[in-house]
Amino acid sequence: MPSLDDKKVDPYGNNIKKLRCATGGGFLTNHNGIVNVISDYLLKAQIPHKGGSRGRPKTCKNMFTHLTQALNSDDLDPKDHRVLQKIICDLLPDFRALPEDVEGISTGPLAGHTHMLDVKTVACGGNYQGANATPAEDRQVQASAEYTRRGKETDTMLKTPEGEEGPVMAEMRTYGSPPGRVLAPVVGAFAEMSSDMYALADVISAAMTADHLQFFNVSAKQTRGMFRERLLRDWGHAAHLGWARLLHDRRRDLIDRRPSTDLDGEDEFHANHLYHNREQYFSAHR
């Protein structure tokens, strides 16, 4: 739960953006926006993947069903249910068809493997304090370790003897490089990105370059730079828009906007109401 100070609205709205257990689902919308923009570029690069708005299918929820179906009983502890839910990754891109290089340009360490992606976002807080603070990178390391821990917890629920590798961890080792490593791309509060996000940008831009060079006789290095710059620009825009949308959603859902007794207060209330409900207003007055 957030601390008492985090429950106060600060001048920049950072506290209401990171508030846990808030109504409205704004934080999930922000997270899904990042997942979907990655999925969109995977489709543009013709990379098959599961999860996201452009994935086939659009969810990865059946990845471990054949292993965990014995646990899906009504009497399972709610905590264990949450563990099962959290081992479902957000995206599962398949880079196995990509070569190691495109006309001398490396496609990056992700090529040649299928990877599990657990996408995260980091709101602004105390983790940003200090000259050497790297909150996005720190969250990436933490999230990857948490995913592995949840896999081991699931194996324990499946009665795996202590010290032995269970079926879930064995399945996870069929993905990633090195085997079993879960990518945890992170987008921070100021649209900064972790190293896994940049690794994804490298391999996707390389795939787009390989396709482009089939039709045009141009420099592979310059072409990859063009696609990489375009991709990072779009991802950065999506991140900024996502945080801005979350701030407006939390302002609408959590901050009490009662009209005051004077006319100016009522005008301000109606102006805010119109701003947040403009589609309903204009459809009703056509």
Quickly list DSSP for 254-270.
HS-----SSHHHHHHHH
Please determine, for residue 263, whether its predicted confidence score (pLDDT) is greater than 60.
no
Q: What is the mean pLDDT of the chain?
A: 86
Q: What pLDDT score was predicted for residue 266?
A: 62
Helix axes 220-254, 26-44, angle to 10 degrees: 160
**Out of 33-42, 118-127, 178-187, least confident range:** 118-127
Mean pLDDT of 27-56: 95
- Which of 123, 121, 94 has the alpha carbon at shortest distance from 18? 123
Q: Are residues 38 and 138 in the same domain?
A: yes
Q: Are residues 176 and 228 in the same domain?
A: yes
Q: Which pTM value belongs to this model?
A: 0.83
Q: Are residues 179 and 266 in the same domain?
A: no
The count of domains in the chain is 2
Range of the structural domain that residue 206 is part of: 5-255
Q: What pLDDT score was predicted for residue 10?
A: 72
Question: Is residue 143 a contact partner of residue 154, using CB atoms and an 8 Å limit?
Answer: no
Q: Are residues 105 and 157 in the same domain?
A: yes
Label residue 2 by pLDDT band (50, 70, 90). Answer: very low
Q: What pLDDT score was predicted for residue 286?
A: 59
Q: Which residue has the higher pLDDT, 195 or 24?
A: 195
Q: How far apart are CA 90 and CA 51, in angstroms?
A: 6
Q: What pLDDT score was predicted for residue 86?
A: 83
Per-residue pLDDT tens digits for 79-103:
777 778 888 999 999 999 998 888 8
Q: Are residues 70 and 189 in the same domain?
A: yes
Q: Are residues 41 and 108 in the same domain?
A: yes
